[in-house]
Amino acid sequence: MQSLSELCALVSDGEVSMVLKEYFSEFGTVISADRFHAIEEAGQRCFLVKFENSTDAIMVANQQKLRPFAFDCVLVDL
Determine the average pLDDT of the residues in 32-46: 72
Residue 17 above 50 pLDDT?
Answer: yes
**Which band of pLDDT confidence, cut at 50, 70 and 90, is reported for residue 61?**
confident
Residue 65 above 80 pLDDT?
Answer: no
Determine the average pLDDT of the residues in 35-41: 70
Cα dihedral sign, 26-1-19-13: positive
| Mean model confidence pLDDT for the chain | 73
Please tell me the predicted confidence (pLDDT) of residue 2.
Answer: 62
**What end-to-end distance do the CA atoms of the chain give, in Å?**
29
Residue 64 above 60 pLDDT?
Answer: no
Q: How far apart are CA 23 and CA 34, in angstroms?
A: 14
